[in-house]
Structure 1
């Protein structure tokens, strides 16, 4: 989602985690009636995670520093928390603008993200070096994107999440991701801007994005509960392999709610303004 190819990617981190495969998701990229790109990604259940943890993470993650105890090549080093969120693709994330208490994230702020899509396979072919506006940050979701003067929304990424219960106990989180790119407006100026911003989003890019996002979301299971337990001593966070409590393989997992996935795909395919259907600033539909 960027033209920049000057990113310096940190050496990969071997956390010993099983990374979730793309077969653990339901995924679709389509064009709606206005030729906007619409992406629907239904993740598998995030085991052992709660929405309270995810809300805390989005609020603080750009400021977190974590001491890695026994990660090869990083023993005893403090690294940005962002590097735990993906073992090979993440570079940096920085908040700007109207921030919350102690520099935390909030709607109205901006976030500058640097990362690459599926670095181990494509190296720097698909870099991301983007400043995005945070449109939504509540306990049920996160939304960010770009607006273009005189045109309006041009890109919007919306995450929704909800606790899943079994026997009155939270067993995990339902995590659902949607992306809209391109204007629904049909004038020549809008079409040219759309082509410039999203013209390189081909099939291979979305395959790389899917793999990246499946891993990124899946590893919440491995590290987030451990960091959240230390939230009251946020300046002295540590992580070691023994803190990962996941013991069951994710290989047999699939997207959490297939009916919802199919409903959202149909809604986008029939839409004329995908941003309106997405509702990036509205409460989650989950």
Structure 2
């Protein structure tokens, strides 16, 4: 399903981005986003716990995940429910997307949700029990709406995992990391448009039910 882009995509200049090299070939990318107007932490929690849902977008009912970034998102699925059911801590998310719509930057990964609450979400990939990739989004209320920060850590902290870190560098090179930064800034910015409209629609449905 190909969807139009209904809302403006944020530019990379709208956020503060830092690339940090760490011991043993690790790398960290930090994105401090411009605040999301009209968005609350509760809305974000609801969004991430209901990514399998739908919404009205351009006059049609579509998967939330595809509307989130019409150009880059391909598929999302709940690969394994949380111990208590659903998309919560302990669940596994399968994420398929191509940064910038570029097939060379396509990922198809299953991440474990190690945190999901009103302060943020943490997704991790492990090899032999060792965290080798961690993506954490944290958010908090601010005067402008919600302050949102994304941090991606590539590589394990242990020196013995240096060869794995080098492999990650080759599979996720600098140009792909920059494409991910743009992708992340664009998709986070879309939440400023999608979430308030979704909340209004759900409130209206509740009043008429």
Corresponding residue for 1:244?
A: none
SS of 1:46's partner is coil
Equivalences for residues 122-201 of structure 1 within 5 A: 123-149=102-128, 152-165=130-143, 171-187=144-160, 190-201=161-172
Distance 1:125 1:158, change over 3 A: same
Equivalences for residues 36-47 of structure 1 within 5 A: 36-47=26-37
Shift in Å at residue 140 of structure 1?
Answer: 0.4
**When the two structures are superposed, what TM-score results if normalisation uses the length of structure 1?**
0.67
Cα distance in 2 for residues equivalent to 1:88 and 1:98: 27
1:104 aligned onto 2:77 = no
* 1:91-128 superposed Cα distances (whole Å, 9 cap, x missing partner): 11111323377x53111110000111011xxx211001
**Taking CA–CA contacts closer than 8 Å with sequence separation of 6 or more, which of the two structures ends up with the larger relative contact order?**
1
Cα distance in 1 for residues equivalent to 2:138 and 2:145: 14
* 1:197-240 superposed Cα distances (whole Å, 9 cap, x missing partner): 34232221122111101110001111111112334659xxxxxx
Task: Tell me which structure has the larger Cα radius of gyration.
Answer: 1
Cα distance in 1 for residues equivalent to 2:86 and 2:163: 36
Cα distance in 1 for residues equivalent to 2:123 and 2:169: 16
**When the two structures are superposed, what TM-score results if normalisation uses the length of structure 2?**
0.90
Cα distance in 2 for residues equivalent to 1:179 and 1:213: 11
Q: 1:220 aligns with which of 187, 191, 202?
A: 191
SS of 1:106's partner is coil
Corresponding residue for 1:26?
A: 16
Corresponding residue for 2:72?
A: 89
Cα distance in 1 for residues equivalent to 2:76 and 2:19: 26
Q: Which runs of 5+ in 1 are unaligned?
A: 1-9, 166-170, 235-286
Q: Which runs of 5+ in 2 are unaligned?
A: none
**Number of residues of Structure 1 aligned to a counterpart in Structure 2:** 205
Distance 1:193 1:33, change over 3 A: closer
Paired residues of 2:83 and 2:90 also in contact (CA < 8 A) = no
Cα distance in 2 for residues equivalent to 1:230 and 1:100: 30
Q: CA RMSD in A?
A: 1.9
1:65 aligned onto 2:54 = yes
Corresponding residue for 1:229?
A: 200
Shift in Å at residue 18 of structure 1?
Answer: 1.7
Higher strand share: 2
